[in-house]
């Protein structure tokens, strides 16, 4: 079978491409480290052609999601405004030089008040809904910027971003805490204790961060324990902020295992049922859903 079209998840740091056959079968998958962050608008087409040259012999259509559609990307795909359908009303076509090639870019979604944006997650949500028709509830997409999204009647009703992942990276890599936090390792009890503490007393957070450093200086506390404790403090703060999204609901959590783990642990501690989905699978399913819209248009 030959590739019929190409699906692309083109983010800030990396890009992933799939060759899709006429019946929707995935014929191949490739990645590139040429993310949006490293490219000028004029360079995207070259990367696509380099990585997918043989596929492009038969595939003339590309459907792409992610930061490729941001203002600094290949072409700006203006945000849809929530509440809105999870499936894109329109896609934007990127400028290309190769004859016959058409690249469709899926728009992100914005929310006016409180101001918020997503770009890429909307496609994972569309993929989840394609696989779970009629789902009504809250989807959490953990990552550098975790999204909590209320979905109802195939629409994104409202959402909230917490930059917990980025905060953890900043504190462990750039702050005074970097001396005291292990690069890996985990401790369930310490995570649970710290998470419960900030969830029940979110006002204490600002006073507890430096205490991690001090605990090492004063009590020689193990740096693996401090890693779990920092994660607990930050996830607790996020769960406190996102409480209206998860309280009394079932949560669909879409993300890789490593980044999802503390969320799963935290939500289970609060008695919240968690349904898991794989981010890559959902992305591909969402791009396929957008491609199907093209065919029916």
CA separation, residue 237 to residues 23, 195, 206, 233, 274 (Å): 45, 8, 10, 6, 19
Q: Which of 27, 92, 240, 269 binds a second copy (CB under 8 A)?
A: 240
Residue pair 291/5 in contact (Cβ under 8 Å)? The answer is yes
Q: Which stretch binds a second copy (CB under 8 A): 156-164, 259-267, 270-278, 282-290?
A: 156-164
Closest CB to a second copy among residues 37, 46: 37
- Residue 285, exposed/middle/buried by CB under 10 A (0-12, 13-18, 19+)? buried
48-87: contacts with a second copy (CB under 8 A): 79
| Under rule CB under 8 A, residue 160 binds a second copy | yes
Which runs of E-coded beta strand occur in 190-263? 251-254
Q: Could you say whether residue 217 binds a second copy (CB under 8 A)? A: yes
208 lines the binding site for a second copy (CB under 8 A): yes
Query: Is residue 203 within the footprint of a second copy (CB under 8 A)?
Result: yes
Contact 69, 92 (CB under 8 A): yes
Bridge partners of 231, per DSSP, are: none
Q: Which is nearer to a second copy, 209 or 224 (CB)?
A: 209
Helix and strand numbers, DSSP H then E, in the chain: 9, 15
| 138, 162, 195, 289: which one binds a second copy (CB under 8 A) | 162
Evaluate whether 123 touches 215 at the Cβ level (below 8 Å). Answer: no
Binding of residue 30 to a second copy (CB under 8 A) = no
Within 10 angstroms of residue 164's Cβ, the number of other Cβ atoms is 24
* Residues shown for the chain: 297
241 binds a second copy (CB under 8 A): yes
- Determine which residue in the list 85, 102, 211, 223 makes contact with a second copy, applying CB under 8 A: 211
Total residues binding a second copy (CB under 8 A): 45
Are the beta carbons of 166 and 142 closer than 8 angstroms? no
Handedness of CA 209, 237, 82, 9 (dihedral sign): positive
Gap between the Cα atoms of 19 and 126, Å rounded: 20
Q: Which is nearer to a second copy, 60 or 211 (CB)?
A: 211
Which listed residue (1, 26, 189, 214) binds a second copy by CB under 8 A? 214
* Residues 164 to 193 in contact with a second copy, rule: CB under 8 A: 164, 166-167, 170-171, 174-176
The β-bridge partners of 44 are: none
Stretch that binds a second copy, among 2-10, 29-37, 237-245, 277-285 (CB under 8 A): 237-245
Distance CA 131, CA 134 (A): 9
Q: Which is closer to a second copy, CB of 53 or CB of 218?
A: 218
Contact residues toward a second copy (CB under 8 A) are 79, 110-112, 114-117, 145, 160-164, 166-167, 170-171, 174-176, 202-211, 213-215, 217-219, 221, 234, 237-238, 240-243
């Amino acid at each position: 079978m030959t590739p019929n079209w190409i699906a692309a998840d083109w983010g800030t740091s990396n890009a992933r491409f799939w060759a899709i056959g006429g019946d929707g079968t995935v014929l191949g998958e490739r990645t590139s480290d040429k993310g949006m962050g490293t490219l000028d608008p004029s360079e995207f087409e070259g990367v696509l052609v380099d990585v997918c040259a043989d596929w492009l012999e038969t595939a003339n259509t590309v459907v792409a999601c992610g930061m490729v559609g941001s203002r600094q990307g290949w072409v700006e795909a203006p945000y849809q405004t929530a509440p809105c359908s999870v499936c894109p009303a329109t896609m934007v076509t990127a400028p290309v030089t190769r004859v016959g090639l058409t690249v469709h870019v899926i728009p992100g979604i914005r929310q006016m008040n409180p101001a918020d944006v997503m770009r890429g997650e909307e496609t994972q949500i569309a993929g989840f809904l394609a696989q779970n028709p009629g789902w009504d509830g809250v989807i959490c997409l953990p990552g550098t910027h975790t999204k909590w999204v209320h979905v109802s009647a195939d629409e994104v009703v409202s959402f909230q971003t917490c930059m917990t992942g980025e905060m953890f990276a900043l504190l462990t890599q750039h702050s005074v805490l970097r001396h005291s936090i292990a690069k890996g390792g985990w401790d369930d009890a310490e995570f649970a204790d710290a998470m419960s503490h900030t969830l029940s007393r979110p006002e204490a957070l600002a006073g507890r961060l430096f205490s991690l450093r001090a605990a090492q200086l004063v009590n020689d506390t193990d740096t693996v324990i401090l890693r779990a404790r920092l994660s607990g403090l930050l996830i607790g703060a996020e769960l406190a902020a996102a409480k209206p999204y998860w309280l009394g609901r079932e949560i669909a959590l879409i993300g890789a295992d490593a980044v999802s783990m503390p969320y799963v642990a935290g939500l289970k501690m609060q008695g919240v049922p968690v349904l898991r989905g794989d981010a890559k699978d959902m992305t591909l399913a969402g791009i396929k859903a957008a491609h199907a819209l093209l065919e029916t248009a």
